[in-house]
Structure 1
Amino acid sequence: MSAEPILEARGLSKTFRAGGAVFGKPFQAVKDVSLAVRPGETLAVVGESGCGKSTLARMLVGLETPDEGEILFKGAPIRRDRALRRQVQMVFQDPYLSLNPRRTVLDIVAEPLDVHGLAKGAARTARVEELLTAVGLDPAASSRFPHEFSGGQRQRIGIARALAAEPSILVCDEPVSALDVSVQAQVVNLLIGLQQRLGIAIIFIAHDLAVVRAISQRVMVMYLGRAVEEGSAEQVLVTPSHPYTVALRSSALEPDPARARLARGKATRGEPPNPVNPPPGCRFNPRCPRVTEQCRQQEPVMHKHATASGITGVACYHPMGESDKISA
């Protein structure tokens, strides 16, 4: 695996207005988030609902424009470069809403081919059939409409459409959350197989840690718009350092009764703060069992450093010690 990132995001921030574009109160959905992903690597972005994961994903693919920061593909800005934008494609969360019900599968999957002028006529049809085969669907399905397929099949169609542009990076925004558990495993295995065969990088947005652990090499944890921990999947999911990551890990189902009791003792209580009026200092401090006065007054900065497995960092004044961490 190359040590050079294929996609980088530097200092991305995005502010929306709650209650209307004119009179609504501003809140930062994403604040100063940076990430990097290397060719053939899967970076998972995890956190509670409302933490900014999907907004981050939409900025990476150009569906939202960052208020601050930049996105680079192989070191080059991609905001206005159509050829580079083609390199980053998205698989959406809802397979029922992300496909046009009035178009056939042929036209849906071929849309990137039409937009980028990649194939026409017989070559266009042949390419669509090739893509459907690659995602495990019968090429004859190209003449059918989305309502004739199950949820898992529709998500495969969405993946085929994303692959049509021949991207280097797939941004998957919770692509299995709307699917049955058995179908989730099929789609995850499909993505893993495609990555191994095509060498693509994947940014996988999710909240299910079991799925994340199955597919990712590295993990970034977000809380209320900020990145709070990043590292290898083994490090972040098995021996987390940030108290919030520990809380996420504790919330996952645990079949071992002894570990389940330990996890319950570390679970976070309370609800996330209102993003329109976040607390001063560390945004996690109202729910953190290790909070101090410093945490209430000063927002911690993530200090990153390079390791053999990639970038590692934690934004916390009092990270968990070895005796505090939950073993897998």
Structure 2
Amino acid sequence: MRIFISILTLLFLFKFNFAIAEVRDFPNKDCDITVGLLRTEKETYDHEWASSDKICEMLVSMGAHVILIDYNKLFSKAKEEALSEAKDDVIHVEQLESKKIKEVVKDFIKDSRINRILLPGNYYNLDSDPLPPTPNRQLVTKAIVQIVDENPNISLLAICGGLQGIMHAKGIEIISMKKLHKIQESKKSYHNDRRLNKLKIAPESRLSSMISRFAQPDEDGWFAIYFPDAHGEMINNSDKNIEKLQSLGYKVVGLSDDGVIEAIEDKHGNIHFQGHPESLILRSKRYYSENYKKREIATLITIAIINDFLYRKCETIISS
């Protein structure tokens, strides 16, 4: 049995490394991929960095240059400029801050030649404890959302808390999972990163076109994929909230069996996830005996998703 497991592990790692090699060889030398990663340069409170170091390594291994979008520094700079312009008028400062944050973030993105932005997960919540100790991250997230809306040449990928931050910035309601239903023990199990949460992916979506390389649809054209999941909040899936989401140009393209919105696409083709597909790559060298085949397929799909995020707009970058 141990020999059999070792063989399976080696086969999986071979496939994984081969897929990564494919991605490394793909970029055009003239295609300069610079990813802005929303994270502080110095950790100022517990859990602020989470797994962002490993995310940096993953992006670099796939051919990208990574620059930190330090939301604390950018917020401080915007506040200083607002104070200076308002001449210490507190009421005027508050009115100027939002405008200044956007200007500072936009200039930073332009000066750093950032053409991709990744909003990773966040330990803190928007609707329930633990709440963030400062508003800095969310204010910078709001600015990024506005900038990307205005400049579709910047690709955006959001994961878990990053997705929730985008939705909150757009006025979409984010609620605690506990408000939707009492989480039973069986549902708690997939919050452990050793478990995989099932996602149903809508046909004729950009996401389904990536998945179709690795999985077969059901008779209705829907795909089933499996990603690690760990979150305490979600997009409120009420009819009113979904209608508002759709009116803003978003499509719900992934759902879990209990109705949680797991993936959305925006009007520019960016895809955002409630779960943590990236953790399949970050922890790929650890063998999980449970759902081995599902994990293997999900990892290859994740590589395709990150590859799409990094390189689908290469022609636009080269010509700009």
Q: TM-score range by the shorter chain?
A: 0.3 to 0.5
> Which structure features the higher share of strand residues?
1
